[in-house]
Structure 1
Amino acid sequence: MSGTNNELIKSFESSAPAAAAVSEPPAAEQTNRFRRPRGHRAGLNIDKIIKAARSLPQNQLSMQAVANTLGVDRKALNHYVHDRENLLSIVAAVEFSEAFDDLNVPEDADWRTVASAFAHSNANGMLAAGLLSDYLRLGSNTAARFLKASEMLLRSLKNAGLDIDTAIRCVAVINNACAAYTRDVAIAKHSVAALRHELLTEALKEEQEDTFPLLQEVAERPILTTDSEQLDFAISVVLDGIEEIIEKHNSK
């Protein structure tokens, strides 16, 4: 795992469940009172657990699968990870937050440059989280990089002339566009259903060719709407709309 995640890892480790309290042992057992917790005895730490978890297919990720990968008892993980849901949340957060590591935008960049960089990092983070997106929680352990990027975007929109309420709505629209794109990518990647143009072709079989001429043309020219070009297009459409809103605000 890259060094950029050191603070994130330490934060997870410090917030992990503490070892259960035990009563004071008899005097004869005093020499054993400072035995290390099970996780430490197994040579574990949160860094190793996350690395092992990320090496597994997301649809096979479980406490037992991670334990098997590390060659330890499943209970050894509980010193650092509460349960499977906690494990999935941690991995999703790490995958998502790393996408913002490459968000290098100059301080004097215009709002459109900032918004485009934010949107691409957001979408890439969601794609990296993949099947774990539903478990993504931006708590204190993971929020720093995302919050920094969000603050930068809001500031650039305000500097462009928007009030804070409108800026918030613009950020929400950007987030929604990214979420819609990544959802389509996930469905196309993991679903056994036919692609949209295949479904359209099937639906048009019972119709005369001149009934829906444009849809016939669409079916014959399948455009992949889950590639990076589609993401660029979606972001461009959203930013064009925001630009019009900014112009209206500045013309008042």
Structure 2
Amino acid sequence: MKSKDELITSPRAQGQRAGLDLEQILEAARSFRPEDLSLSALALKLKVDRKALSYYVKDRKSLFQLLAIEAFNGHFSGLGVAEAVDWQSALKAYAETFVSGIISLGAFAEHIWFGDPLTMISLDPVEALFAKLKEAGFSDEDSVRLVTMLSTVCLGHARDILTYRNNKSQSRPIALRGALDKLAATQYENLHRIIELGVNTYSVEQLDFEMEIILNSASRLLAAK
């Protein structure tokens, strides 16, 4: 995913002459429902030619990405990682607020992806997290890999929750059951057993499980140093 600066296109005189700035554009864009937001509608609201917007946003997708990043950072910046008593608590606080931040985006969540999780989000909580990891004795390389893995896990889990809320169902078990129903009952006995178990992987318990795995693995890594 491109950085926020890269989402802004090269300078055009139209945008400058219109007296627009990025905050004006985003403020106007926030007044729309996602399904109603387009560059044409936005230009109409701002009373400028659509070409004037191209100084800041290339297309609808880049506009949605900017809105998603801004909204996420507004939520994520309040993270209390620095106040965590140890590195384990810091990782948990980071994960919980990361997930809730993505969920808070609602329909905009699908437009956010961190090509590099360390450069697209608010820097203060990330800085605080790296400080906790360094203090605990993790190498910088291990810290980078750990935070990147954690961010990826959190993003995937948050999107799972949003999918579940939107569809009112667990999509993976439904798809698996549909595939198994077309086959003989004697085939894939392990998958049949698993699907009947009915484990909900779209819940907070799933995130707790993932965090336990990450924390235990990180603890063993640290102990081996």
TM-score, normalising length: structure 1: 0.66
Alignment of 1:208 with 2:185, yes or no, is: yes
Match of 1:148 among 121, 124, 132: 124
Match of 1:75 among 32, 50, 66: 50
Secondary structure of 1:102's counterpart equals coil
Q: 1:104 maps to what in 2?
A: 80
Q: 2:30 maps to what in 1?
A: 54
- 8 Å contact kept, 1:16–1:79: yes
Q: Distance in 2 between matches of 1:20 and 1:50?
A: 19
Amino acid in structure 1 at the alignment position of 2:111: L
Q: 1:63 maps to what in 2?
A: 39
- 8 Å contact kept, 1:89–1:135: no
Q: Deviations over 1:94-144 (max 9, x none)?
A: 02211223212454620011111112233334442512114889899x75x
Could you tell me the percent identity over the aligned residues? Answer: 23
- 8 Å contact kept, 2:84–2:90: no
- 8 Å contact kept, 2:95–2:151: yes
Residue 135 to residue 158, structure 1, CA distance change in 2 (3 Å): closer
Match of 1:38 among 9, 18, 25: 18
Secondary structure of 2:94's counterpart equals helix
Secondary structure of 2:109's counterpart equals helix
Q: 1:166 maps to what in 2?
A: 142
Q: Deviations over 1:161-198 (max 9, x none)?
A: 2121222221122122123323434555678x982211
Q: 1:157 maps to what in 2?
A: 133
Q: Deviations over 1:73-113 (max 9, x none)?
A: 44385286343254233212202211223212454620011
Written as runs of structure 1 = structure 2, the 5 A alignment for 1:131-146 is: 131-134=110-113, 146=122
Deviation at 1:156, TM superposition (A): 1.0
- 8 Å contact kept, 1:93–1:136: no
Q: 1:3 maps to what in 2?
A: none
Secondary structure of 1:162's counterpart equals coil
CA RMSD after TM alignment: 3.8
Q: 1:180 maps to what in 2?
A: 156
Where structure 1 has 5 or more consecutive residues not aligned to the other structure, the ranges are 1-10, 22-35
Q: Deviations over 1:1-59 (max 9, x none)?
A: xxxxxxxxxx99xx8976729xxxxxxxxxxxxxx94346xxxx644432332343445
Match of 1:91 among 25, 47, 67: 67
Alignment of 1:20 with 2:37, yes or no, is: no
Q: 2:216 maps to what in 1?
A: 240
Where structure 2 has 5 or more consecutive residues not aligned to the other structure, the ranges are none
- 8 Å contact kept, 1:63–1:74: no
Amino acid in structure 2 at the alignment position of 1:203: A
Aligned residue-pair number: 214
Moved >6 Å (runs of 4+): 15-19, 135-140
Q: Distance in 1 between matches of 2:206 and 2:29?
A: 31
Residue 228 to residue 80, structure 1, CA distance change in 2 (3 Å): farther
